[in-house]
A and B are shown apart, each in its own frame.
Chain A
């Protein structure tokens, strides 16, 4: 026991313990799991990260495209029955818990007596894009959609609200007075300025998901990503792994925020340095 304690440096003072762990995490990269000493933490994360990236990037593409489409559509259809209908749909999307939706999807697409429509769905798990892109896509399509449903609903509502705000701006009136078509006014003048809130939200959410926030989805669909790793280590209270995944997450959230700031300046020239 004492030997193990010494091996992990647990007999030292707290700050030294912290520094030791950081050193083993970043410099020597030989931090090992408490539970399973064969599991080297750093390679475990490097292996899990591509899975999470595949999942989150794919989902992000879907949710950005669809939420923009739905947001725009809601504004175009404002005053008709379709606008509130779309917003109710969005609300339903937001309200569905990811794990529940995931299980339902699995029930429909994975059960032995599923309908023939879903016969192409591969079993749960992950295939790297490098080994078989098509299988990679098939394995991920339902996880992508499951994550997206929540975000599409949320982002579509935010975008619609922003667009309606912007619609009352003087410069939109100016654009109309210039004789631009409604489509051009909407896409070029309204959407661009409305994207500012959208982008900042996106940066945060994307960072959180890449950093392991897609935990539930990964668990439900059996994807060996960072979320799954975090989940497993949490169950076993495996501190070095938890530590590593948290730092990994923090890293991506910070990166995402920095990227958002850069994008901000591209979207809004007023915050560019003079």
Chain B
């Protein structure tokens, strides 16, 4: 593997609240290689968004506490001063968000908002920036970009706004594009367009992508590696094919089994993960998934490390079950008892 582009080491993010300390991210580590697509999958409250927002230090909460290192280009992002941080944001690492309807400032023209990103990081004049904005809009597939560049956000549809957001994020050829649920608010046909666009642009711009989503179907197409998060931790991490075809953590099985599938015969009942995600203030002892896990046993009262338990070095998981046991146990969950 090449030298990592980004390395997150033991990141911990917590928030002081009236009820206690919420451990939103509890010891997350991963690396990202150049031009790689990393999928981060988890449900709400799993800490996937907070993790990536902390990498850009975008959370502005006096009650927040962050520990750990985020190494980018040999420097710890967490220790950068204000000016250096502003250079990284939008220049080296750009981010797009879930709701394209609210992510653009309603009172400025689309083109001006893109040009603003360019002018912040590049030494060009306004006219050049505006021209570049038009080119970017063309690249992300906005028809009649020359005239639409002067539209206001409310004149764009949701899909077009997300395209414009992508154009804005790519304006400075960032090394990394963090996409936080970029398709969740969009219709399924538009979602397909956006994923296809990201797939194409990552080659055009040579950016690595971190794709945050709750939908395993979305990362199945585009991701190289996938991290599954639960209750502030990564519970499974591996290459896409390993994760889909040899999943090691019961939570991953549960996610795979909960999705109503179009590619399989209809089952009478969907598999469902019983119960609710745990409290992040007083999480359960040992494995965080234990209270919801049908396969839990005594040993699960002890927290398992995120290590490789199968013969693949890069396939990590946090589960005490024997890999052989898992191979049998997971079919019931994922395939709804179809195969043995």
Direct contact between A and B judged by beta carbons closer than 8 A: yes
In the complex with contacts A177-B95, A179-B121, A270-B154, A169-B88 CB distance below 8 A: no
A177 in contact with B154 (CB, 8 Å): no
Among B94, B102, B106, contact of A177 (Cβ-Cβ < 8 Å): B94
Interface status of B135 (Cβ within 8 A of chain A):
no
Contact with A along B62-104 (1 / 0, CB 8 A): 1000000000000000000010001111110011010100111
Identity of the chain A residue whose Cβ is nearest the Cβ of B178 in the assembled complex: A177
Q: How many residues of B contact A (CB 8 A)?
A: 29
Interface status of A173 (Cβ within 8 A of chain B):
yes
B152 in contact with A269 (CB, 8 Å): yes
Residues of B within 8 A of A180 (CB): 86, 90, 116, 120
**Least Cβ–Cβ distance between A273 and chain B, in angstroms:** 12
Interface status of B117 (Cβ within 8 A of chain A):
yes
Bound Cα distance from A177 to B103, whole angstroms: 11
Residues of A within 8 A of B165 (CB): 174
Interface status of B340 (Cβ within 8 A of chain A):
no
Residues of A within 8 A of B268 (CB): none
Contact with B along A140-171 (1 / 0, CB 8 A): 00000000000000000000000000010111
Bound Cα distance from A174 to B60, whole angstroms: 13
B107 in contact with A192 (CB, 8 Å): yes
Bound Cα distance from A171 to B102, whole angstroms: 6
Q: How many residues of A contact B (CB 8 A)?
A: 22
Interface status of B105 (Cβ within 8 A of chain A):
yes
CB contact list, A170-200 vs B, under 8 A: 170-171, 173-182, 189, 192-193
Interface status of B137 (Cβ within 8 A of chain A):
no
A193 in contact with B106 (CB, 8 Å): yes
In the complex with contacts A177-B56, A179-B86, A171-B103 CB distance below 8 A: yes
**Least Cβ–Cβ distance between A150 and chain B, in angstroms:** 29
Among A167, A177, A193, contact of B89 (Cβ-Cβ < 8 Å): A177
Among A173, A181, A189, contact of B97 (Cβ-Cβ < 8 Å): A173
CB contact list, B290-304 vs A, under 8 A: none
Identity of the chain B residue whose Cβ is nearest the Cβ of A180 in the assembled complex: B120
Bound Cα distance from A189 to B103, whole angstroms: 12
Interface status of A268 (Cβ within 8 A of chain B):
yes
Interface status of B58 (Cβ within 8 A of chain A):
yes
A189 in contact with B105 (CB, 8 Å): yes
Known: A177-B58, A177-B90, A269-B152. 11 other contacts (CB 8 A): A170-B102, A173-B58, A173-B103, A175-B105, A176-B58, A178-B89, A179-B89, A179-B117, A179-B120, A180-B116, A182-B82
Please, could you name 10 A-B residue pairs with CB atoms under 8 Å apart, sorted by A? A170-B97, A170-B99, A171-B103, A171-B104, A174-B165, A177-B89, A178-B94, A178-B117, A179-B87, A179-B89
